[in-house]
Protein backbone atom coordinates (compact mmCIF):
# COMPACT_ATOMS: atom_id res chain seq x y z
CA UNK A 1 0.00 0.00 0.00
CA UNK A 2 1.33 3.42 -0.98
CA UNK A 3 1.97 6.12 1.66
CA UNK A 4 0.62 8.72 -0.79
CA UNK A 5 -2.79 7.01 -1.06
CA UNK A 6 -2.97 6.62 2.74
CA UNK A 7 -2.28 10.33 3.11
CA UNK A 8 -5.07 11.14 0.62
CA UNK A 9 -7.51 8.93 2.52
CA UNK A 10 -6.58 10.60 5.80
CA UNK A 11 -6.97 14.08 4.31
CA UNK A 12 -10.42 13.12 2.92
CA UNK A 13 -11.44 11.72 6.30
CA UNK A 14 -10.35 14.90 8.10
CA UNK A 15 -12.30 16.98 5.58
CA UNK A 16 -15.36 14.81 6.26
CA UNK A 17 -15.02 15.42 10.02
CA UNK A 18 -15.68 19.13 9.49
CA UNK A 19 -19.12 18.20 8.09
CA UNK A 20 -20.13 15.84 10.92
CA UNK A 21 -22.91 16.70 13.38
CA UNK A 22 -22.67 16.25 17.17
CA UNK A 23 -23.98 12.65 17.39
CA UNK A 24 -21.56 11.58 14.64
CA UNK A 25 -18.66 13.33 16.40
CA UNK A 26 -19.59 11.61 19.68
CA UNK A 27 -19.65 8.25 17.92
CA UNK A 28 -16.25 8.94 16.35
CA UNK A 29 -14.79 10.02 19.72
CA UNK A 30 -16.06 6.81 21.34
CA UNK A 31 -14.38 4.76 18.58
CA UNK A 32 -11.10 6.67 19.07
CA UNK A 33 -11.26 6.15 22.84
CA UNK A 34 -11.89 2.41 22.38
CA UNK A 35 -8.98 2.16 19.92
CA UNK A 36 -6.66 3.90 22.37
CA UNK A 37 -7.88 1.68 25.17
CA UNK A 38 -9.33 4.40 27.35
CA UNK A 39 -12.65 6.07 27.85
CA UNK A 40 -12.56 9.85 28.25
CA UNK A 41 -15.98 9.65 29.86
CA UNK A 42 -15.94 8.17 33.39
CA UNK A 43 -12.18 7.71 33.32
CA UNK A 44 -11.06 6.50 36.72
CA UNK A 45 -7.58 5.84 38.06
CA UNK A 46 -6.39 2.27 37.70
CA UNK A 47 -3.62 2.63 40.28
CA UNK A 48 -3.16 4.85 43.31
CA UNK A 49 0.00 5.37 45.36
CA UNK A 50 -0.94 5.07 49.03
CA UNK A 51 2.53 5.27 50.56
CA UNK A 52 6.07 5.82 49.31
CA UNK A 53 9.36 5.62 51.17
CA UNK A 54 13.05 5.28 50.38
CA UNK A 55 14.73 1.98 51.13
CA UNK A 56 18.17 0.68 50.22
CA UNK A 57 18.97 2.07 46.77
CA UNK A 58 15.36 2.52 45.65
CA UNK A 59 11.78 3.24 46.61
CA UNK A 60 9.18 1.12 48.34
CA UNK A 61 5.70 1.97 47.11
CA UNK A 62 2.32 0.78 48.37
CA UNK A 63 -0.23 0.85 45.56
CA UNK A 64 -3.94 0.24 45.41
CA UNK A 65 -5.04 -1.30 42.11
CA UNK A 66 -8.37 -1.20 40.33
CA UNK A 67 -9.84 -2.63 37.16
CA UNK A 68 -13.15 -2.33 35.35
CA UNK A 69 -15.17 -5.48 34.85
CA UNK A 70 -16.11 -6.06 31.23
CA UNK A 71 -19.63 -7.30 31.93
CA UNK A 72 -20.91 -4.25 33.85
CA UNK A 73 -18.10 -1.68 33.92
CA UNK A 74 -17.96 -1.76 37.72
CA UNK A 75 -14.63 -0.61 39.18
CA UNK A 76 -13.13 -3.33 41.40
CA UNK A 77 -10.52 -2.35 44.00
CA UNK A 78 -7.61 -4.70 44.77
CA UNK A 79 -4.64 -4.59 47.08
CA UNK A 80 -2.91 -2.69 48.40
CA UNK A 81 0.32 -4.26 47.10
CA UNK A 82 3.95 -3.32 47.71
CA UNK A 83 6.40 -2.69 44.87
CA UNK A 84 10.13 -1.93 45.04
CA UNK A 85 11.42 0.41 42.32
CA UNK A 86 15.19 0.61 41.81
CA UNK A 87 17.85 1.11 39.15
CA UNK A 88 20.17 -1.58 37.90
CA UNK A 89 22.63 -1.15 35.06
CA UNK A 90 21.10 2.18 34.07
CA UNK A 91 17.58 0.71 33.78
CA UNK A 92 14.62 1.09 36.08
CA UNK A 93 13.44 -2.18 37.60
CA UNK A 94 10.28 -2.98 39.52
CA UNK A 95 10.04 -5.85 41.95
CA UNK A 96 6.55 -6.98 42.98
CA UNK A 97 6.52 -7.56 46.74
CA UNK A 98 2.82 -8.24 47.29
CA UNK A 99 0.78 -7.93 50.45
CA UNK A 100 2.96 -7.87 53.55
CA UNK A 101 3.34 -6.05 56.85
CA UNK A 102 7.15 -5.95 56.52
CA UNK A 103 8.09 -4.98 52.95
CA UNK A 104 11.73 -4.24 53.89
CA UNK A 105 12.35 -7.82 55.01
CA UNK A 106 10.64 -9.16 51.89
CA UNK A 107 12.82 -6.94 49.64
CA UNK A 108 15.96 -8.16 51.41
CA UNK A 109 14.87 -11.77 50.96
CA UNK A 110 14.01 -11.33 47.28
CA UNK A 111 17.18 -9.38 46.44
CA UNK A 112 19.31 -12.12 48.00
CA UNK A 113 17.54 -14.70 45.82
CA UNK A 114 18.23 -12.56 42.72
CA UNK A 115 21.91 -12.42 43.68
CA UNK A 116 22.18 -8.70 44.30
Q: What was the pLDDT predicted at 83?
A: 96
pLDDT tens for the chain, residues 1 to 116: 455 677 888 888 888 888 989 898 888 888 888 887 755 445 556 788 999 999 999 999 999 988 888 888 888 888 999 999 999 999 999 999 999 999 999 999 998 887 75
What is the side-by-side order of every strand in the sheet holding 47-55? 47-55, 58-68, 75-88, 91-98
Please check whether residue 42 lies inside any domain of the structure: no
Task: For residue 75, list its beta bridge partners.
Answer: 68
Integer-rounded Cα radius of gyration of the chain: 23
Q: How far apart are the first and last CA of the chain?
A: 50
Q: What was the pLDDT predicted at 5?
A: 72
Claim to verify: residue 61 and residue 104 sit in the same structural domain: yes
Q: Are 50 and 80 in contact (CB under 8 A)?
A: yes
Please check whether residue 91 lies inside any domain of the structure: yes
Please check whether residue 41 lies inside any domain of the structure: no
Claim to verify: residue 51 and residue 107 sit in the same structural domain: yes
Q: Can you tell me whether residue 56 is helix, strand or coil?
A: coil
The total domain count for the chain is 2
Please check whether residue 32 lies inside any domain of the structure: yes
Claim to verify: residue 8 and residue 60 sit in the same structural domain: no
- pTM score of the predicted model: 0.58
Please check whether residue 62 lies inside any domain of the structure: yes
Q: What was the pLDDT predicted at 38?
A: 57
Give me the domain span that covers residue 104. 47-114
Claim to verify: residue 53 and residue 110 sit in the same structural domain: yes
Amino acid sequence: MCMHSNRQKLDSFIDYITQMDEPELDRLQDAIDRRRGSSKKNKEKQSTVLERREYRHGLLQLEGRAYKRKKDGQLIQRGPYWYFHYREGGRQRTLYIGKTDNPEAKVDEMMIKEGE
